[in-house]
């Protein structure tokens, strides 16, 4: 049996790791890398991810960090043809683009916006937050998921970024994106992942 370990911290971007594993319905164990206790900076964890960030997944000892990579690896290995379009599918290109867009474009766009930096498109390699929201809006208009009817790991990677950003009011308003987040939140795997990432004790401590 394949041994899968998720290194995660509560109340963090680990949501994406939990969500992907819950969508796949495969068995995994969790190592708690408590950010508040600075576990992510301990030498033992830095050997696993020198960036000192979560989530990280180990598949039989093969380590992968960065949410899009985690989603892509797990989907190819355990959800090929469903959560990951096949290599020769016409959806494969857009699928890879949206996976990458999640943290190569939206994350930095959010950071620049939150810091109120004056970064024009010429100074950066990513879209502005407003441009990203508009692009996603026209993609999602009239379809449930990024690739149409088929929910994929790209929805996990990008959807987790969008869901957290909209919750924290870090992206411009968009009804289409809010409706998308609503659909994501209706998924039982999302709900399980959310409970695992934000268990009740997080709110009481």
User: In the complex, what is the shortest distance from the CB of residue 53 to ligand GSH, in angstroms, rounded to a whole number?
Assistant: 3
What residue ranges in the chain does DSSP mark as E strands? 4-8, 29-32, 56-59, 62-65
What is the pattern of x (binds ligand GSH, CB under 6 A) and - over residues 60-79?
A: ------xx------------
CB 57 within 8 A of CB 7: yes
Q: Does 13 bind ligand GSH (CB under 6 A)?
A: yes
Out of 35, 83, 156, 196, point to the residue binding ligand GSH (CB under 6 A).
35
CA distance 20 to 70: 8
How many Cβ atoms are within 10 Å of 181's Cβ, its own excluded?
19
Chain positions 84 to 113 lying near ligand GSH, rule: CB under 6 A, are 103
Out of 4, 8, 10, 12, point to the residue binding ligand GSH (CB under 6 A).
12
> Which helix (H) or strand (E) is 76 found in, with range?
helix 67-78
Q: Does 166 bind ligand GSH (CB under 6 A)?
A: no
Out of 40, 151, 154, 189, point to the residue binding ligand GSH (CB under 6 A).
40
Q: Does 83 bind ligand GSH (CB under 6 A)?
A: no
Stretch binding ligand GSH (CB under 6 A), from 21-29, 52-60, 91-99, 166-174? 52-60
Rg (CA), the chain: 17
CB 15 within 8 A of CB 181: no
Q: Contact positions toward ligand GSH, by CB under 6 A?
A: 12-13, 35, 40, 52-54, 66-67, 103
């Amino acid at each position: 049996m394949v041994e899968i370990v998720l290194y995660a911290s509560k109340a963090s971007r680990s949501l994406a790791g939990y969500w992907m594993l819950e969508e796949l319905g495969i068995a995994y164990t969790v190592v708690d890398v408590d950010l508040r206790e600075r576990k992510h900076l301990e030498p033992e964890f830095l050997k696993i991810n020198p960036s000192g960030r979560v989530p990280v997944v180990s598949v039989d000892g093969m380590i992968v960090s960065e949410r899009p990579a985690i989603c892509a690896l797990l989907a190819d290995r355990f959800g090929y043809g469903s959560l990951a379009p096949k290599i020769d599918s016409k959806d494969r290109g857009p699928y890879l683009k949206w996976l990458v867009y999640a943290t190569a474009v939206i994350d930095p766009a959010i950071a620049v916006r939150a810091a109120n930096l004056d970064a024009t498109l010429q100074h950066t390699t990513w879209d502005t937050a407003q441009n990203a929201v508009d692009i996603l809006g026209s993609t999602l208009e009239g379809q449930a998921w990024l690739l149409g009817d088929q929910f994929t790991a790209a929805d996990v990677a990008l959807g987790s970024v969008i869901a957290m950003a909209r919750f924290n009011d870090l992206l411009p308003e968009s009804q289409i994106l809010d409706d998308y987040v609503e659909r994501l939140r209706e998924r039982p795997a999302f709900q399980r992942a959310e409970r695992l990432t934000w268990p009740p004790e997080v709110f009481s401590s």
